[in-house]
Structure 1
Amino acid sequence: MAPFNKCKAVLVLEFNWILYNIAGHAVDTCNVIITQHPLKEVDNTVNTVNITCRFSASNCSGSQPQILWFRYFAFTHEALCTPTCTDTQKFTVESNSSLQIKKLTINDSAIYICGIAFSDSNATTSKQVGNGTKLVKRGPEKDSTEVYILMIVLSSLLFLYNTAIFAVIIFYKSKSKLVKKTKKEDVKGEHHKNMSGRTVCRAIVQELYKKRYANNHNQPECLEPDNIYQNR
């Protein structure tokens, strides 16, 4: 902002120097107020643009004022119309004080400053410059079809990526469940095997017990005296 203010001060000095030798009667109470839109944006299809410059004058003579236009770049400024335009094929000052720019390019993006001066007045307020209008011409945008195709390709790649991640997650979850199920079945089989061994062992013991019990209680009574005699 500081470089712009310095340039504006230089423009005021140049502006006053341009009008210094214009003859006229002094009207010390002449006062000029200029209004400019701070920003004007156009797209790359626009070839002609008008930059407005509205002003009001009080206590000034009825003569037509001088209309001047300058433009300010990053570190320099250019006098476009003072009041004759340097390039009449590109720049034209309209009857309403606006500046028309033809064959507009991106290089024409700059701050355009309007100046108004009543030549028959020596009052300081009779010569004023506006705050400037920043003109911005946007560069060409990508074709909408190319953007659409690019979006489709990116969406497809994202879908494939998500599908692959989902498949990997499902695979590892299934593998984990299978391992757990196998371990559980192994433990269950081992337990069943142990239980089967115990059951067989128990059945054998019971069978032996039954046989022994049967042998002890089913002996013939005729054998008892001999046994008694022998014992005696």
Structure 2
Amino acid sequence: RQAESLGDRAAELATADTTPGQILGATATPSGPSSLGVLPLGVAGLALGLLVAVPVALTRRTAPTAGIGDVGGLGSINEAAVLDGTRDPRPQDTWDIAALMLKLPSEAPADSGYTLVVDGSVGTQPGTALAEALRRRGRAVRHVDAAVINEGKLARGWPTQRKQSTWGGEVVVIDSSELTSDALKVTLATRCDQVVLARSVDDDALAARRLRGLLRAQGVDVALTVLLPQRGERL
């Protein structure tokens, strides 16, 4: 039975078409290697490395300047005093030192009070923190959130002399952090006695420099810049 089966199979194979195609030429030994060689491969690798490395290097070079980073990063933002609170174990310690560093009159004027504009990152509430620090030093303090004041009133001249007369004898901390307009912040700063900036190391350095430049253009000096840790570290 096996012989018959193999015989049938051999008959099928004998009738099969086994021609693979047309032979174009005889076989021969290659005249040269199939690769490009050491020099072309080296040049190609160098070009590919430059294409990858240059963008990565530029990205790493510009990354630290995207945020403030440290006290050194504040050099181009503020030439006045800088308080580094990134290593303070408690935020209260930072603001107690800030209240000590500010050169405030021993007594606020009885007819107008003494006004401070405090501007910081949204959500940091630097005005509240500074007001509490001043109260701990025995000062009569009023905290005002500029964001609740009508923007039209701010643009027209708030706080007016009439309004300031109601603040007699007080240190008034006006928090401008929640204002969305840098122009309003600068306008408000021109009507107050001192300006305090509070910035995190992960804040936008370009935005901070822009605000500092606008203040300088209007002749407003920043009395103190407070450097705070990253927002995630303060939670």
| TM-score class normalised by the smaller sequence | under 0.3
Structure with more strand by fraction: 1
TM-score (norm 2): 0.24
TM-score (norm 1): 0.24
Q: Which has the larger radius of gyration?
A: 1
